[in-house]
Structure formats: structure tokens, C-alpha cells
Structure 1
């Protein structure tokens, strides 16, 4: 019989686990910061929607849903939500939503293009005069630099919190 070893996690898997742990830590920190703050009607509505969604996907039965909604309606502070959502995903109240990138990233992208432009043009000149190797040495890094800068400028970060 062949002995199976557990596969080593790849670098991508480790990065994914680290980012998930970081996201979870931010959610826990957000919960701690507001633990003593009173709930608003809108926050109760959001939590009720989250419980209804858990019921809809089969995480809760009907009796459990009613018990948790009753406890939610009696809850006064955010700290009292922890036992209500025990065994369920964190309420969307604490989830971070993506924030649009600032204009400064696009300004930095324009600067990166201006830096790459002379090298790209020099590569074109070498290409026209039959120096393919020199054209590749100058032109390809300039194109890659521009593509990397574009992806960076286009990317979004997750920092803001839904209220």
C-alpha cells in the first residue's frame, strides 16, 4: 500500500491563509472597538437580515432563528451580538468593504509611464534599425513596468468599515 503524505502547502496557499487570518483579525478588532456601543435600529435590521440569510442557506432551523432574533431584539450593545452569532459567520455589520483607489495612484501611474516612455521609444528606434536584441533590452522592461504600474493603480484596498 502506498503511503500518502500530506501535500506541502504552496506559497499561494500560505499567502491566502495569512490574508484570511488578517481579515479575521480586523473583524475581531472592529467588534472589540464597538463592544460597549449601543445598537441602532439599522444595525439590528442588518443583523436580522444576516440571521435570515443563515436560515435560508440551512445553517439555522426555524426555532433557532426565532430564538436568535428574539435575543437580537433584546440586545442593547454590540458586545451582546457575539453569542447571537455563535457558530455563524460574522455579521456583515463588521465586514470591511472595498475602498476605491485614490487619484494619487493614477498620478503615480502617469509618472511611471513618463519614466518608461524614453526606454520604449529607444527600443522602437533599435527595432527600426535592425537591432532586435537591443530593442528587447530597452523596450520589454518598459512595457512590463507600465503594465505593473497599471495593475497597481487599478487595484483596490480594503480599509473602510460599513456603518
Structure 2
């Protein structure tokens, strides 16, 4: 009988993220399949093969054979046998995402919602009600800061070197 250990939610999320990444890479390969290769893409693929050789996944004869196939390739579909059994080349890896305009529109809405509370806090501060000013003003500032960080796309992952 096989002993089963409980699955943690973090593991499931990691597996789901990896599956989503693989699906995006496969979709990019399918979209690019009929498109002709450029010289820059060939150079990138040659660098990838050289890296696989340096790591030890390819021997010298196989490297030369794959580079010959790469030089004979016309479209992206012709690259599949070149990279068979190797990690996906960086051509198909999705680049970093930029925050979209709708995030900045949502940020403007968050500021619009926070402004009356912040102004109420300022008025209360002027009249000597520091506790009431803090109750109104500080959450509005915090709300605006969180909305800005979300709209700018800053997360813990993007701040790491």
C-alpha cells in the first residue's frame, strides 16, 4: 500500500503556476510555427545550443549536427527537432509583463475614493481632533499606497535581484 501525504495548498499553487507557464510556452510555439526565422533568432538558438553543450547535455558531435539542422531551418516549426530533448529556447519564454492602463485607471478610482476621507482627516486635525484625524486620514493614505503599488506592478518577486 502506498502511503499518501497531505498536499499543501502552496504546492498545488506552484504546480498550477508551472502548468500555466508550460501552456503559455506551448501556445507561443504554435503561434510562431509558420513564421520564418530571422538571423537574430538563429543567433539566439545557437547560443542556447552552446549553453546546453557547456552544461553537458550535448556532446560535440550532437552539437554540430543540431547546429547544421538549425542553419537549414526555415520556420520556427523546423526548430522542434533541433531542440528535441532539451529545455525550451528563450525565444518562446514570455517576457516581463508591463502594468496595463486599466490598472492605472483603477488607481485613479482608488485615489478618488480616498480623497474625501483624507480631507476629512485634515479638517479634523486642524480642529485638534488628532485621534479622529488618524482614524480618517491614515487608512486613506494606506489605501492609496497599496493601490499605487498594485498599479505599478511592484511585488516581492519583482523586487528581488
2:90 to 89, 92, 98: 92
Structure with greater proportional strand content = 1
SS in 2 for 1:115: helix
Partners of 1:7 and 1:74 lie apart in 2 by 50
Question: Against the structure 1 CA distance between its residues 39 and 9, is the aligned structure 2 distance closer, same or farther, given a 3 Å change threshold?
Answer: same
Residue 129 of structure 1 is matched in structure 2 by 129
Partners of 2:120 and 2:4 lie apart in 1 by 53
Ranked by relative contact order (alpha carbons within 8 Å, sequence separation 6 or more), the top structure is 1
Residue 151 of structure 1 is matched in structure 2 by 149
Of stretches 47-56 and 105-114 in structure 1, the one that deviates more from structure 2 is: 105-114
SS in 2 for 1:83: coil
Partners of 1:71 and 1:108 lie apart in 2 by 50
1:53 to 51, 64, 72: 51
1:65 to 56, 63, 66: 63
Q: How does 1:10-25 map to 2 (within 5 A)?
A: 10=9, 12-25=10-23
Residue 9 of structure 1 is matched in structure 2 by 8
SS in 2 for 1:97: coil
Q: Structure 1 stretches (4+) deviating beyond 6 angstroms?
A: none
Q: Is the 8 A contact 1:54 1:60 kept in 2?
A: yes
Instruction: Please state how far the C-alpha of 1:37 moved relative to its aligned partner.
Output: 2.7
Residue 142 of structure 1 is matched in structure 2 by 140
1:113 to 108, 111, 114: 111
Question: Against the structure 1 CA distance between its residues 147 and 14, is the aligned structure 2 distance closer, same or farther, given a 3 Å change threshold?
Answer: farther
Does residue 79 (structure 1) correspond to residue 77 (structure 2)? The answer is: yes
Structure 2 unpaired stretches of 5+:
155-161
Question: Against the structure 1 CA distance between its residues 87 and 118, is the aligned structure 2 distance closer, same or farther, given a 3 Å change threshold?
Answer: same
Partners of 1:27 and 1:53 lie apart in 2 by 20
Partners of 1:143 and 1:17 lie apart in 2 by 37
Residue 160 of structure 1 is matched in structure 2 by none
Question: When the two structures are superposed, what TM-score results if normalisation uses the length of structure 2?
Answer: 0.74
Partners of 1:141 and 1:108 lie apart in 2 by 18
Question: Against the structure 1 CA distance between its residues 30 and 103, is the aligned structure 2 distance closer, same or farther, given a 3 Å change threshold?
Answer: closer
Partners of 1:141 and 1:48 lie apart in 2 by 54
